[in-house]
Amino acid sequence: MLHYTIRRLLISIPTLLFISLVIFLLLDLAPGDPMASIPLTVPPEVKEKMREALGLGEPVHIRFLNWMYQFFVVEPQVLIDHIFGTGFAEGKQRIISFQSRSPVMAVVAERMPQTLWVVGLSYIFATLIAVPIGIVSAYRQYSWFDQLGTFISMIGFSIPTFFSGVLLIVVFSVILGWFPSIYDTTLEVTDWSSFLQQVKQMAMPVFVLTLYNAAQVSRFMRASMLDNLNQDYVRTARAKGMSERVVVLMHVLRNSMIPVVTVIALGVPNIFGGAIITEQVFQVNGLGQMLITAIYASDAPMVQTLTFIFAVLIVLFNLIADILYGILDPRIRYD
| CB environment 12-27: b (16+ within 10 A), e (fewer) | beeebeebbeebbeeb
Dihedral (CA of 190, 193, 195, 200) sign: negative
Task: Give the predicted TM-score (pTM) of the model.
Answer: 0.81
Closest CA to 252 of 225, 217, 216: 225
Q: Any idea which fold 107-328 has?
A: MetI-like fold (1.10.3720)
pLDDT digits (tens, 9 = 90+) for 224-280: 888 888 888 888 888 888 888 888 888 888 888 888 888 888 777 776 665 677 778
pLDDT digits (tens, 9 = 90+) for 95-145: 888 887 888 888 888 888 888 888 888 888 988 999 999 999 988 888 999
Q: Taking the domains of the chain in order of start, what are their residue ranges? A: 35-97, 107-328
Question: How far is it, in rounded angstroms, from Cα 133 to Cα 221?
Answer: 8
